[in-house]
A = this chain, B = another copy of it.
């Protein structure tokens, strides 16, 4: 199958179907509506189940149930809807369920606006659910990568028994780009733990996030943490672009990273050696690689479509080596390459 021109949301839905998604549970919210709409049209045709839940809360709990019963499942939403899913995500993480959550984010806080934003970085990477838990967060930079990452998300969810979020800004959800969706089947990890009815099993299965004994709960938390450390070791991913000789390192993720690339071209034309470091996994964050990459630069510039949220992880990575600056737009406003160029120049100062 060659490239087709597809809307991000639809491509994401199709990628999930190609990955063998057995159940989708979602609720309408702009700018992700085409995900449930596409699913309602095509998922049942390929043997899966589509349910329009009564709310985001119900959706995440349906996903929790279906995953607990051993099915490969997904939900999707946008900013306030993801906020409503936080308790459920914490439950999924606690019960170690493989679920995929697509977040197509828009401006906030509150009802905010519906235009693209990256103001949900904290929401995705630090959760808001209770307790010590982590979900893997993947951040695509366009429609093609979004579909690849959705497929990858199902693999990761399965093999680590962990919720995986694919977080994209509203641009990716709404735009059309040429895309080729991989159709290779993804084998399912055996889920002997699933609650499907005991059948011929010798014991009953139980899916649960409660541990009343504190020592048991502590052990459980340590287990979750060890799993996370394992994931950090194996699955951290990023892209470096013209970093080798860079004197200025720009860090960006998602669609804005493409704007930064174009700014970097302009900067290089003007003789300023800039490079891009783009985390592809926001959790686990590529701390070590970014630390390395920042060693030889004058400063790091973090660019986000927010008031500055990822900058915290960048600072943690850089750990005081060089100054870390910030440039951001928010509320649905998207920066132009020239703004990045200007920001870099202003920090280079009298040079």
Q: Give A residues with C-beta under 8 Å from B.
A: 57, 79-80, 82-84, 86-87, 90-95, 105-115, 117, 119-120, 122-123, 126-133, 208-222, 224-225, 306-307, 309, 312, 315-316, 319-321, 329-333
A and B contact pairs by CB, cutoff 8 A, 22 listed: A79-B130, A79-B131, A80-B87, A83-B130, A84-B84, A86-B86, A93-B110, A94-B110, A108-B131, A109-B130, A112-B130, A112-B209, A113-B212, A113-B213, A119-B221, A122-B126, A122-B128, A123-B126, A123-B129, A128-B128, A221-B307, A222-B307
Query: Which residues does chain B contribute within 8 Å of A332, judged by CB atoms?
Result: 214, 217-218
Are A90 and B113 within 8 A (Cβ)?
A: no
Are A331 and B220 within 8 A (Cβ)?
A: yes
Query: Which residues does chain B contribute within 8 Å of A217, judged by CB atoms?
Result: 107, 112-113, 115, 330-332
Are B91 and A111 within 8 A (Cβ)?
A: yes
| A246 CB, nearest partner CB in chain B, Å | 21
Query: Which residues does chain B contribute within 8 Å of A315, judged by CB atoms?
Result: 316, 319
Are A209 and B110 within 8 A (Cβ)?
A: yes
Are A110 and B316 within 8 A (Cβ)?
A: no
| A95 CB, nearest partner CB in chain B, Å | 6
| A130 CB, nearest partner CB in chain B, Å | 3
Query: Which residues does chain B contribute within 8 Å of A95, judged by CB atoms?
Result: 110
Are A331 and B107 within 8 A (Cβ)?
A: no
| A329 CB, nearest partner CB in chain B, Å | 6
Give the nearest-CB partner of A133 in chain B. Answer: B109
A86, A95, A208: most-surrounded residue (chain B CB, <10 A)? A86
Give the nearest-CB partner of A321 in chain B. Answer: B320
A224 vs B308: C-alpha distance in the bound complex, in angstroms?
A: 13
Report which of B83, B212, B213 forms a contact with A86, defined as CB distance below 8 A: B83
A344 vs B203: C-alpha distance in the bound complex, in angstroms?
A: 46
Query: Which residues does chain B contribute within 8 Å of A210, judged by CB atoms?
Result: 110-113
Instruction: Give 4 new A-B contacts, CB below 8 A, not counting A94-B110, A107-B217, A312-B316.
Output: A80-B90, A83-B90, A112-B210, A113-B211
A128, A213, A216: most-surrounded residue (chain B CB, <10 A)? A128
Are B83 and A108 within 8 A (Cβ)?
A: no
| A315 CB, nearest partner CB in chain B, Å | 6
Query: Which residues does chain B contribute within 8 Å of A80, judged by CB atoms?
Result: 87, 90, 129-130
A107, A126, A217, A316: most-surrounded residue (chain B CB, <10 A)? A217
The answer to whether A130 and B105 touch (CB under 8 A), given A218-B329, A333-B218, is yes
Query: Which residues does chain B contribute within 8 Å of A108, judged by CB atoms?
Result: 90, 94, 129-133
A127 vs B108: C-alpha distance in the bound complex, in angstroms?
A: 13
Are B214 and A113 within 8 A (Cβ)?
A: yes
A91 vs B83: C-alpha distance in the bound complex, in angstroms?
A: 11
A315 vs B126: C-alpha distance in the bound complex, in angstroms?
A: 16
A114, A309, A329, A332: most-surrounded residue (chain B CB, <10 A)? A332
A214 vs B112: C-alpha distance in the bound complex, in angstroms?
A: 9
A94, A129, A132, A332: most-surrounded residue (chain B CB, <10 A)? A132
The answer to whether A126 and B126 touch (CB under 8 A), given A112-B94, A211-B113, A312-B316, is yes
